[in-house]
Structure 1
Amino acid sequence: MENKPNSHTEKLYRAIQLTRPLLRHISAYVEQELGDSGVTVGQRAVLEVLYTDGAMTAPQLTQKLELKRQFVARMLAEATDAGLVTQQANPEHARAHFHVLTDAGHGAIARIRDHEMQKLLELEALFTVEEIETHYRVQQVMNRWFADRLTTPKP
């Protein structure tokens, strides 16, 4: 039997501890739902950023996704090989080209997002509008709070 938290700090601590299994469950569920789409969870993340934010360089994608450069490069290479992403010249940097969705990539991520939004209606029904707004705000504040406390590694 789990002990109930005896303070708001303890409850916050336990809520933070739930983040890791929640992220594992979300990733596994997304992977399951992607099914035979031919898109991996990592590729999906890259496609979604390009879908919502438009053309980006690899460093911009890396920063937006807050992932390792090597991982983003691998996802871009896989998505390019699959015909979902292509490169365009960047007039400001000859070596830092833009990555953009192909028609196939745009269609794939649009279908994936539409499917996910339909599925999320079931989850949304479990909460009030106020609870969803509060959750969104709490997630934003916690993400920023922890990010602001990271120390920059020294070269």
Structure 2
Amino acid sequence: MIQKCPELLEIERNLISIDEILRPILEQDDFISSFGGTFINIFRNHIVVNTVNYSKVDDLLALPQITSNEKFLYFNKANNSMSQIKFNFEQINVRADLIKPKQVFIYIDMLLNNNVLYFERSDINNTEFITAAKPFNPTIFYTEKFTTRKI
């Protein structure tokens, strides 16, 4: 089925409103270590919920504000919980503040369920920072080479 722009916009508005209900719940202590955040897939008309601990899915679905939206949720196996991603992000930023790497963006990518170091140039030596960030398992992208590598 081919969807037109107005239909996709309506799907997106609906999923955003559901995600606005879901996200604060997933940030609560009961769930933050079991789920790794969310992202919206308008083409499949669902919210992908990165899931580390599937035993908590039933607890989430039992909540009254979630029950009516269950059909819009897709639980995807994930390696990193939101609490782990946030911790790693903070640690990477501490190292960035100390080392001052050049031309790098540091961000959380929910699709990858990980922190990302996005280097604008591969010819700048950021080895010290990459080595310092390595224990926190970021995904690295380089603009110039369009390559991805895991450290």
TM-score of the aligned structures, taking structure 2 as reference length: 0.25
Q: Which has the larger radius of gyration?
A: 1
- Flag the structure with higher strand content: 2
Q: TM-score, normalised by structure 1?
A: 0.25
Greater share of helix residues, 1 or 2?
1
